[in-house]
């Protein structure tokens, strides 16, 4: 992350093609028998996974099922926080796994978890309630940091970054069990991270930090290093695009 800075060519024009990559939404169903579960806007098959040593309820195919790689983001954040009392945002919370795990590891934190998917918000709230964290973890529906009030000390995010075109590409299937809206993003896929980084310029306090998950790695920067992080994101994306182009077989000549 200590590379030469690259200026971003203006604020990216991102507006989601609404509904294009949305997880399928179905009718309401009330879940009983699991403490804290509220009325969920989808038929919840009783499923759970272990994430960072805790049980997380999942909704396969509707909300991103958390994967072990993301535990590194929790680990990084917990170490950055230490024993401090800080304000944290978990952007694109999905099942709420990162927010819940981090709240348990850092008991003095207040966490605002956001997602623009209604089923994800419902599931995250159920997981927060299941772990008795309603006082410290608020789950809010909305775009990136928009629903979160006030200044923040730390923003963590595992947002979609795979280019939308890849969802239709040959051989795509590695993420077929995850909802498309959780994996793919319009254009080159990096618009959400670019916008989040821009928002952090005004939403993070002076000593704050942003940590994101990208291609299996945690990339992090303090408030004063956001230009370097922006550059690093572009470099990693270019490298991934080159590998991807190499792996896609050429179309046979007509």
Question: Which residues are near ligand SAM by CB under 6 A?
Answer: 64, 66, 70, 91-95, 97-98, 114-117, 120, 143-144, 158-160, 181-182, 192
3-state secondary structure of 14: coil
Residue with Cβ nearer ligand SAM (131 or 228): 131
**Do the beta carbons of residue 154 and residue 223 sit within 8 Å?**
no
- Closest distance between ligand SAM and the C-beta of residue 121, in Å? 9
3-state secondary structure of 148: coil
- Closest distance between ligand SAM and the C-beta of residue 253, in Å? 38
- Closest distance between ligand SAM and the C-beta of residue 250, in Å? 30
Residue with Cβ nearer ligand SAM (69 or 85): 69
- Closest distance between ligand SAM and the C-beta of residue 120, in Å? 4
Whose CA is closest to 207, among 154, 141, 130, 144? 154
118: burial class by Cβ within 10 Å (0-12, 13-18, 19+)?
Answer: middle
- Backbone phi and psi for residue 207, each to the nearest 5 degrees, phi listed first: -95, 10
3-state secondary structure 32-61: CCCCCCCEECCCCCCCEEEECCEEEECCCC
**Distance, CA of 167 to CA of 210 (rounded, Å):** 28
Residue with Cβ nearer ligand SAM (41 or 160): 160
- Closest distance between ligand SAM and the C-beta of residue 60, in Å? 12
- Closest distance between ligand SAM and the C-beta of residue 238, in Å? 21
Residue with Cβ nearer ligand SAM (114 or 228): 114
- Closest distance between ligand SAM and the C-beta of residue 180, in Å? 10
Residue with Cβ nearer ligand SAM (81 or 156): 156
Pairing of strands 39-40, 87-91: unpaired
3-state secondary structure of 1: coil
Residue with Cβ nearer ligand SAM (147 or 228): 147
DSSP code per residue over 233-251: HHHHHHHHHHHHHHHSPPP
3-state secondary structure of 170: coil
Residue with Cβ nearer ligand SAM (74 or 228): 74
Whose CA is closest to 38, among 127, 154, 117, 171? 127
């Amino acid at each position: 992350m200590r590379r030469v800075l690259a200026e971003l060519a203006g604020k990216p024009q991102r507006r989601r093609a609404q509904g294009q990559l949305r997880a399928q939404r179905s009718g309401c169903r009330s879940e009983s028998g699991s403490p804290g579960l509220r009325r969920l806007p989808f038929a919840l098959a009783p499923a759970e996974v272990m994430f960072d040593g805790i049980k997380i309820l999942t909704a396969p195919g509707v909300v991103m099922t958390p994967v072990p790689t993301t535990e590194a983001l929790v680990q990084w954040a917990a170490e950055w926080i230490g024993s401090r009392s800080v304000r944290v945002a978990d952007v694109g919370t999905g099942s709420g796994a990162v927010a819940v795990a981090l709240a348990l590891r850092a008991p003095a934190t207040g966490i605002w978890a956001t997602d623009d998917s209604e089923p994800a918000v419902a599931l995250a709230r159920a997981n927060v309630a299941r772990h008795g964290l309603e006082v410290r973890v608020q789950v809010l529906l909305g775009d990136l940091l928009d629903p979160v009030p006030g200044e923040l000390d730390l923003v963590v995010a595992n947002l979609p970054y795979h280019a939308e075109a890849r969802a239709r590409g040959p051989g795509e299937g590695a993420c077929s069990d995850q909802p498309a809206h959780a994996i793919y993003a319009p254009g080159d896929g990096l618009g959400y991270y670019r916008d989040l980084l821009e928002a952090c310029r005004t939403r993070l306090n002076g000593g704050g930090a942003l940590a994101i998950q990208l291609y299996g790695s945690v990339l992090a920067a303090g408030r004063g290093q956001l230009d370097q992080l922006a550059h690093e994101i572009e470099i990693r994306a270019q490298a991934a695009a080159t590998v991807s182009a190499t792996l896609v077989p050429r179309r046979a000549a007509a």
